Structure 1
Amino acid sequence: MRSTLYLLFLSLLWGSSFLWTKQLLNYFQPTTIVFLRCLFGMIALLPFLLFSKVKLDLKVQPKFLLVVALAAAIPWNFMGFALQGIDSGLSGILNATTPLFAVLFSIVLLKIKPLRNQIFSLLIGFIAVVILMFFSGQAIGSQFSIAHALLMFGVTSCYALNSIFVNKYYTTVPPLHLSFWTLAIAIMINGPISLLMEPKAMLTVGTPSVFLSLLVLGSLSSGLGYVIFYVINSASGPIFAVMVTFIVPFVSILLGVIFLNEPLHIGIAIGLPLIVTSLFLMNFHSIKFRKVVESAPGKFDDDFS
């Protein structure tokens, strides 16, 4: 029950990130938003780092910094620019294609042979994206630019590559430390650029609407969000934790409709269920395996102990 509540709370935080980013675009350029978001996230993360039993390793290789840059520093800039031309609800749906890109890159880069359900998942996901793109461009009251929508695939590609490289090379790095370096490298990259582009940006941070947006987007979503995700992953396993991917698009659409007056159109009605179906197929073999293990817990003890 506790893990379910954590999952719903995390879905609300991550699903609302598109709304808060959209709101902050009224005040800042995307690079400044990334810098402030990560700065607020780092402040929230510091207490966990201070009380962590595992000492933070400050000697890291450039390759590692590039990998963690793919988690925030680069994709969150793409997201900011993308949201200048598309609805937040659509961006939330397109963001859910990350697992599809992870499988695609695994096939291309790692030469992993895909399962049948993953092939069907990629096909359905592709059809869903085409439908979403087409109807979003036709819908009355919808903010849509094909170039900005394509930027979201830059976001999901970065997330997918980060996931692949972390799982391949950095599984021994504690999740809390991955979170620290993800935020730290984003601050180091985007901070100087932000100060050059918008030197007076910090003077706006105290504005109530700006501070609230950064508090949720930075401290809660980007800082505590990682911690909550790893708590869920530890308590209930990765298959349960990945369910957040299914819920986030619904949250982003709902918030966009309520707070930004974004339209609900037929593309969303058709495309979103297809995306959810695609994600389910993507994880079908893992869900099926989990059910087998739970029904006969002693059967796999020797293999996985």
Structure 2
Amino acid sequence: MSTPQAPLMTASDWAILVLLSFLWGGSFLFAKIAVAEVPPFTIVLIRVAGGALVLAVVVTLLGLGMPRERAVWARFLTLSMLSNVIPFSLIVYGQTQIGAGLASILNATTPLFTLIVTHLVTQDEKLTPMRLAGVMAGFAGVTIMLGPSAASGLSGPLLAQLAVLLAAFSYGWAGWYGRRLTGLHPLQAALGQVTTSSLVMLPLALLVEHPWALPMPSTAAVASLAGLAIFSTALAYGLYFRVLARVGAGNASLVTFLIPPSALLMGIVFLNEHLTLWQGAGMVGIGAGLALVDGRLIRKFL
């Protein structure tokens, strides 16, 4: 009997993942700028509450409405903990002590955790040797891409690195759980998730960090917070739930491999940075890993 496989991805699915990689890749830069002036819980609160406000306007304009069943909102709450509250807080905390590059490497373990979770708890996303090899190749590519600086960064604060790894583990479960939000428009799912995230983060930020007593952040920090809310949360999660419903959690999690190359390309285009040999080799590794996970190109030559 054949092992059930995750759905094959179309060109439009891959295009959404690429766009998501830019939206979420930018979140590491935005967070690194903001965390210099704003404490972690407050950053997460502004991110999810701002994203909820944007999505609420869009959902209202489209006349979609929101579900009223308690069971659906209970799922929203669980997903918000796995996908927003826990990982966002852990990553922002980690970035108080480690750089965005190292954080993106540790975050790239998400597909490993996702494949393990979906293999254990689903019937249609079983782990295969080719998919596992693809994930390992992609993770190696991310590490190579950042070169010697990545290896030296691994000697940084252990607790901060563990925080980002725990965030990736949480994302692994969130990808599986998000598939339980069936029958909803992607924008409804996104709004429900970030709304419940906001309700959880509000007392945490108020009680722990007293944001009203903080000095007014700089223009750069405010712009970074706006970018987190609008692009890295509202727009990104609307796209994510669309692709998650189409291709499954394992495939959707591959976006974390695309984040470092996307950040590199943004640096080349906007900051006049240059491609290094390490970065080029790492991108080849990531491409090979994605080809193995997708499988179609490999099967043509077997």
- Smaller-chain TM-score bracket: 0.7 to 0.9
**1:151 to 1:134, Cα distance in 2 relative to 1, 3 A:** farther
Q: How many residues are paired up?
A: 284
1:161 is matched with which residue: 173, 182, 202?
A: 173
Give the Å deviation of 1:170.
2.3
**1:225 to 1:128, Cα distance in 2 relative to 1, 3 A:** closer
> What amino acid is the match of 1:73?
V
1:105 is matched with which residue: 100, 110, 117?
A: 117
Aligned to 1:114, the other structure's residue is in SS state coil
**1:194 to 1:258, Cα distance in 2 relative to 1, 3 A:** farther
> What amino acid is the match of 1:103?
L
The CA deviation string for residues 113-159 of structure 1, in whole angstroms up to 9 with x for no partner, is 4222123234445656887899546538x983343223222222222
2:103 is matched with which residue: 91, 97, 114?
A: 91
> Where does residue 119 of structure 1 map in the other structure?
132
Query: Structure 2: how far apart are the matches of 1:258 and 1:246?
Result: 20
Aligned to 2:85, the other structure's residue is in SS state coil
88-97 vs 73-82, greater mean Cα deviation = 88-97
Query: Structure 1: how far apart are the matches of 2:140 and 2:268?
Result: 24
Give the Å deviation of 1:83.
1.3
> Where does residue 144 of structure 1 map in the other structure?
156
Asked if the contact 2:110/2:253 (under 8 Å) is kept, the reply is: no
Query: Structure 2: how far apart are the matches of 1:276 and 1:181?
Result: 34
Asked if the contact 2:42/2:211 (under 8 Å) is kept, the reply is: no
Query: Structure 2: how far apart are the matches of 1:150 and 1:275?
Result: 23
Confirm whether residue 175 of structure 1 aligns to residue 179 of structure 2: no
Give the Å deviation of 1:60.
2.9
TM score, norm. by length of structure 2 = 0.74
> Where does residue 88 of structure 2 map in the other structure?
76
Query: Structure 2: how far apart are the matches of 1:44 and 1:138?
Result: 39
Query: Structure 2: how far apart are the matches of 1:269 and 1:149?
Result: 25
TM score, norm. by length of structure 1 = 0.73
Query: Structure 2: how far apart are the matches of 1:231 and 1:67?
Result: 16
> What amino acid is the match of 1:72?
N
Asked if the contact 1:136/1:267 (under 8 Å) is kept, the reply is: no
Query: Structure 2: how far apart are the matches of 1:171 and 1:43?
Result: 23
> What amino acid is the match of 1:116?
P
112-121 vs 79-88, greater mean Cα deviation = 112-121
> Where does residue 303 of structure 1 map in the other structure?
none
**1:244 to 1:128, Cα distance in 2 relative to 1, 3 A:** closer
Give the Å deviation of 1:85.
2.6
> Where does residue 201 of structure 2 map in the other structure?
190
**1:258 to 1:94, Cα distance in 2 relative to 1, 3 A:** farther
> Where does residue 29 of structure 1 map in the other structure?
39
Query: Structure 1: how far apart are the matches of 2:134 and 2:187?
Result: 31
Give the Å deviation of 1:58.
3.4
Structure 2 runs not aligned, ≥5 long: 1-10
Query: Which aligned pairs between 1:256-267 and structure 2 lie closer than 5 A?
Result: none
Give the Å deviation of 1:17.
0.4
Aligned to 1:70, the other structure's residue is in SS state helix
**1:91 to 1:12, Cα distance in 2 relative to 1, 3 A:** same
272-281 vs 97-106, greater mean Cα deviation = 272-281
Aligned to 1:170, the other structure's residue is in SS state coil
> Where does residue 274 of structure 1 map in the other structure?
285
Give the Å deviation of 1:217.
0.9
**1:199 to 1:229, Cα distance in 2 relative to 1, 3 A:** same
Confirm whether residue 218 of structure 1 aligns to residue 218 of structure 2: no
Query: Structure 2: how far apart are the matches of 1:7 and 1:130?
Result: 20
> What amino acid is the match of 1:210?
A
Query: Structure 2: how far apart are the matches of 1:69 and 1:256?
Result: 32
> Where does residue 52 of structure 2 map in the other structure?
42
Asked if the contact 1:70/1:159 (under 8 Å) is kept, the reply is: yes
Query: Which aligned pairs between 1:2-13 and structure 2 lie closer than 5 A?
Result: 10-13=20-23
Asked if the contact 2:142/2:283 (under 8 Å) is kept, the reply is: no
**1:32 to 1:137, Cα distance in 2 relative to 1, 3 A:** same
> What amino acid is the match of 2:207?
L
Query: Structure 2: how far apart are the matches of 1:3 and 1:124?
Result: 21
